[in-house]
Amino acid sequence: MTLDHTIRQAYINTLLDGGFTRLADHTVNPTEGYIVGGVTEPTTMNLHTGKIKEVSVLTIAEFEEFKELWNKYELQLAETIQLDNLCSKGILHKYAAGMGVGTWIHDGKIYFDLVQHLYSLDVATDIAKKRNEIAIYDCKNQKDILL
């Protein structure tokens, strides 16, 4: 899957499903485990269109803004993984494992963040609370768990 295809998929899934996750290992929208945001400070963009069928100049401009932000977070992800690989003591290994780029919609905005995919609910909840997150995402049941 090319990066442009991934960005289009991320944009469409974000609009239609309320969010999207692509992990560093290229897994898209995991079906098991939990997604925890807050690895980085999120960035937002205003959501101008709520329906993908509304193809217009506004939709194209919105996609271009989405693409720019997506690329910013893909670069941050690559830098984090590279830093982990360069770390001679492997200090960051557990931190960088399961990381990816995530988007979600809240209050008329699309949020972008580096996220972490974890399999333990207890660990995911603990990490989310430490990052002052208000929720984690349950991949299997496709719903937020409010903290």
Question: Which of 70 and 50 is assigned the larger pLDDT?
Answer: 70
φ, ψ of residue 107 to 5 degrees: the values are 50, 45
Residue 48: how many other CB atoms lie within 10 Å: 14
pLDDT of 51 higher than 90:
no
pLDDT of 84 higher than 90:
no
CB 22 within 8 A of CB 100: yes
| Mean pLDDT for the stretch of residues 93-115 | 83
CA–CA distances in Å: residue 6 to residues 91, 114, 119, 133: 30, 16, 24, 26
pLDDT of 143 higher than 60:
yes
pLDDT digits (tens, 9 = 90+) for 58-75: 577 888 999 999 999 999
d(CA 59, CA 129): 35
Q: What is the pLDDT of residue 4?
A: 80
In which residue are the tokens 């090319």 written? 2
Two tokens, residue 139:
């991949």
pLDDT of 126 higher than 90:
yes
DSSP annotation of 54 = -
d(CA 142, CA 82): 30
pLDDT digits (tens, 9 = 90+) for 14-44: 988 899 999 998 899 999 999 999 988 899 9
| Mean pLDDT for the stretch of residues 119-138 | 93
Q: What is the pLDDT of residue 72?
A: 95
Q: What is the pLDDT of residue 107?
A: 87
CB 61 within 8 A of CB 147: no
pLDDT of 49 higher than 70:
no
